[in-house]
Amino acid sequence: MLARNPLILLIYTGGTIGMIENPITGALENFNFDQLMEHIPELKKFNYRISSYQFDPPIDSSDMEPAFWAKLVRIINYNYEHFDGFVILHGTDTMSYTASALSFMLENLGKPVILTGSQLPIGMLRTDGKENLITAIEIAAAKNAEGIPMVPEVCIFFENHLMRGNRTTKINAENFNAFRSFNFPPLAEAGIHIKYEPHLIRRPDPDKPMKPHYLFDHNVVILTLFPGIREEIIHSLLQVPGLKAVVLKTYGSGNAPRKEWLLRELKEATERGIIIVNITQCSSGAVEMERYETGIQLLQAGVISGYDSTPECAVTKLMFLLGHGLSQAEIRRKMNSDLAGEITKNP
């Protein structure tokens, strides 16, 4: 049987990549799919069939919400059997949050879901959007000799690097090289060839289908410690009605000031059922609470380790687990488990 041409679904949510300068007014406007084809004639050179779905209206990714993540999962699930891969065009500002959320929502994913965007609109001469989009499509369509997708994961492709989505952080508001995966190597690099790292790429259980999830509970907060942080502020924050989980950004390998009031507040909060997850403020490296006295005291207060998780991933994982109505013990257990390649437990 002849292999058919790969079929790719391109989902445009909004963001800079999809903007085109109006030749009359000079203003940036959102494109439609036909305009995209006009601006990137290279797309016609692929032997892929590309269909598109456009958010109406497109959103700046600063307006991203869990409801839009659920919408993306609905679109992917509805089209899952018909397409070989999915490319999501997304604003860069919250792309890492969306990629992290989708990595949990698309359980046992067997097809590529590649997010990309750009720092300059696609209609501009020096745009980075063209390269990002063309390569993202190529990756979404790539299969190995057995016809199995090369990267059945939720990823971000940006400036020549394919990164596991739930490991990424936006690190630059100006340069083309806007994303970094500090704690996990790239899954592929695009140069003359796209060089994949198959040993790093996750594989689904072939005997199980992809399982979509839609629920989130956003009664969570990210709290960054700093020298001089006030007791009253932490106290009030931990008393907010409905608060269920805190991502605590501590110093270095998971350390916090040795203040009696801080440990008391954290301990009382965990005893009230609030889940407190410790991640480091450093871009790179992991929390090791056993290493210093200042970390051990947090363990004793009931705080759990977030290992080498990014803040984007820790907060979306908590929202996802809370949304599924799991018990506190079960959420604590899952926060300590690697669900979608998001943490390194034994570096």
Q: Which residues are known catalytic residues?
A: 16
Nearer to ligand ASP, 61 or 168 (CB): 61
Sign (positive or negative) of CA dihedral 113, 17, 92, 29? negative
Q: Which region among 59-67, 129-137, 159-167, 287-295 touches ligand ASP (by CB under 6 A)?
A: 59-67
Least distance in angstroms from the C-beta of 312 to ligand ASP: 13
Q: Is the peptide bond before 57 cis (omega within 30 degrees of 0)?
A: yes
3-class SS shares of the chain: helix, strand, coil, % to 5: 30, 20, 45
Least distance in angstroms from the C-beta of 260 to ligand ASP: 42
Nearer to ligand ASP, 6 or 18 (CB): 18
> Which of 122, 191, 114 is closest to 150 using CA atoms?
114
Q: Which phi and psi (to 5°) does residue 103 adopt?
A: -65, -30
Nearer to ligand ASP, 55 or 196 (CB): 55
Helix or strand (DSSP H, E) at 221: strand 220-224
Least distance in angstroms from the C-beta of 59 to ligand ASP: 7
Q: Is 16 in the site for ligand ASP (CB under 6 A)?
A: yes
* Residue list 149-168, contact with ligand ASP (CB under 6 A): none
Least distance in angstroms from the C-beta of 91 to ligand ASP: 2
- Residue written as token pair 């997010």: 115
Q: Which region among 11-19, 46-54, 203-211, 244-252 touches ligand ASP (by CB under 6 A)?
A: 11-19
Helix or strand (DSSP H, E) at 85: strand 85-89
**Pairing relationship of beta strands 19-21 and 28-30 according to DSSP bridges:** antiparallel
Count the site residues for ligand ASP by CB under 6 A: 10
Interface mask toward ligand ASP for 64-103; x: CB under 6 A: ---------------------------xxx----------
Residue nearest to ligand ASP (CB): 91
Nearer to ligand ASP, 92 or 316 (CB): 92
Nearer to ligand ASP, 128 or 265 (CB): 128
Q: Where are the alpha helices (DSSP H) in 23-94?
A: 33-39, 66-79
Q: Which two tokens stand for residue 154?
A: 């939720």
Q: Is 60 in the site for ligand ASP (CB under 6 A)?
A: yes
**Pairing relationship of beta strands 106-107 and 113-116 according to DSSP bridges:** unpaired
CA 33 to chain centre: 25
Calpha distance 232→292 (Å, rounded): 26
Calpha distance 47→53 (Å, rounded): 20
Q: Is 284 in the site for ligand ASP (CB under 6 A)?
A: no
Least distance in angstroms from the C-beta of 113 to ligand ASP: 18
Calpha distance 19→275 (Å, rounded): 41
- Applying CB under 6 A, among 8, 11, 12, 15 the residue interacting with ligand ASP is 15
Least distance in angstroms from the C-beta of 92 to ligand ASP: 3
Cα-based torsion angle of the residue sequence 268, 270, 273, 275 in order, rounded to the nearest 10 degrees: 150
* Residue list 111-140, contact with ligand ASP (CB under 6 A): 117
Nearer to ligand ASP, 85 or 117 (CB): 117
Binding site for ligand ASP (CB under 6 A): 14-16, 60-62, 91-93, 117
